[in-house]
Amino acid sequence: MCRRSRERGRTVEDGGVAVYGLVNKAVEDLAHTVGGPQTWAAIRARAQVDVPTFIGMDQYPDEVTYRLVAAASEVLQMPAEQVLETFGEHWVLYTAQEGYGPLLDLAGSTLPGFLMHLDAMHARVALTMPELTPPSFECTDVTEHGLRLHYRSARPGLEPMVVGLLKGLGRRFGVEVAIAHVERRVDGADHDVFAVTYR
């Protein structure tokens, strides 16, 4: 199968990693929220993305998203990690809620419940988005006030986004969340592990 997605004349071929347009739309949404249309225009220009609008179900090379994040970091004068963390939180609270709110509602009514069903939810989403390469979230050592979250992703460098997601989920379920990045793939670990406590 040949996946073709046009972005500045390039294509995403078999074996490449692609992202659905809804993720890039979420970046656009965040830029509008933070700084308005001018900020988004500046980010788009700096990222050299000439796509006038992202289509949610179209696929774009991951590189586009990375460029957008890097450009946002420059335009907003924020470290890339902070941009990703902000994006993760924004994704949970606003973007995903807007389009997939009912699905999020089904995924669980508590933070640990939600995290434990996250893979199942991604599996169902993958039925609809066959090219989706979602990350995997595994919960171990679940107690009343904490768990260990094992994060596995084909996309490197997005760990700060997981922190943002967890913070956003904490706000969604009304609990205080503390996150510690206890194992890092960049440090040689098999995968990233976060120690999450909540109350």
Partner 1 sequence: MTRVTGLGPGQLDTVFPFHLVCDEQLRVRQVGPSLARVAALARPGADFHACFTVAEPRGLLLQRPEDAPPGLVLLDLRPGRLRLRGQLLAADGLLVFLGSPWVRDLTEIAEHGLQLSDFAVHDPVVDVLMLLQTQQAGLADARRLADQLQQAARTQARLAQAERRLAAELDALPDLTLRVDAAGQVIDFRPAGVPDTALAAPQLAVGSTLAEALPHLAGRLRAAVSRALEHGTTESVDYTDHQGGRAAFFEARVVATGEQEALVLIRDLSERKALEDKIVHQAFHDSLTGLVNRALFGDRLEHALTSRDPAGTAGGETTCLLYLDLDGFKQVNDTLGHRAGDALLVQATERLRELVGPQDTLARLGGDEFAVVLATSPLEAAEHLAERMVTALQAPFDVEGRAVRVGASIGVAAARNGDDSEALLRRADEAMYAAKRDGRGRWVLHHPLSEARSAQPVRWEADLRTAVEDGQLTLAYQPVVALDTGALAGFEALARWRHPVHGTVPPADFIPAAEATGTIVPLGEWVLQEACRQAVEWSADLLDPGWGVNVNLSPRQLREHDLPQRVEDVLARTGLLPHRLTLEVTETALHEDIENAAAQLRRLRAGGVRIALDDFGTGFSSLSHLSRFEVDQVKIDKSFIDGVGTSSTETAITAAVIQVARQLGLEVIAEGVESAHQAAALRTLHCPAAQGYHFARPMTAAAVEELLSDPARSTRARAALPLPRSAAADAATGTVPSQRPPQATRHL
128, 140, 143, 174: which one contacts partner 1 (CB under 8 A)? 128
User: Which residues lie below 8 Å from residue 163, measured CB to CB, with a gap of 6+?
Assistant: 85, 88, 179, 181, 194
Contact flag: residue 129 with partner 1 (CB under 8 A) = yes
102, 143, 176, 190: which one contacts partner 1 (CB under 8 A)? 102
From the list 5-13, 114-122, 138-146, 165-173, the region that binds partner 1 by CB under 8 A is 114-122
Task: Give dist(CA 29, CA 23) in Å, integer.
Answer: 10
Q: Are strands 192-198 and 177-183 parallel, antiparallel or unpaired?
A: antiparallel
The nearest distance, CB 55 to partner 1, in angstroms, is 5
Closer to partner 1 by CB, 66 or 100: give it. 100
- DSSP reduced 3-state for 6: coil
User: 172: exposed, middle or buried (C-beta count within 10 Å: 0-12, 13-18, 19+)?
Assistant: middle
Q: How many CB atoms lie within 10 A of CB 52?
A: 6
Closer to partner 1 by CB, 79 or 99: give it. 99
Closer to partner 1 by CB, 84 or 92: give it. 92
Q: Which residues lie near partner 1 (CB under 8 A)?
A: 21-22, 52-53, 55-57, 99-100, 102-103, 105-109, 117, 120-121, 124-125, 127-129
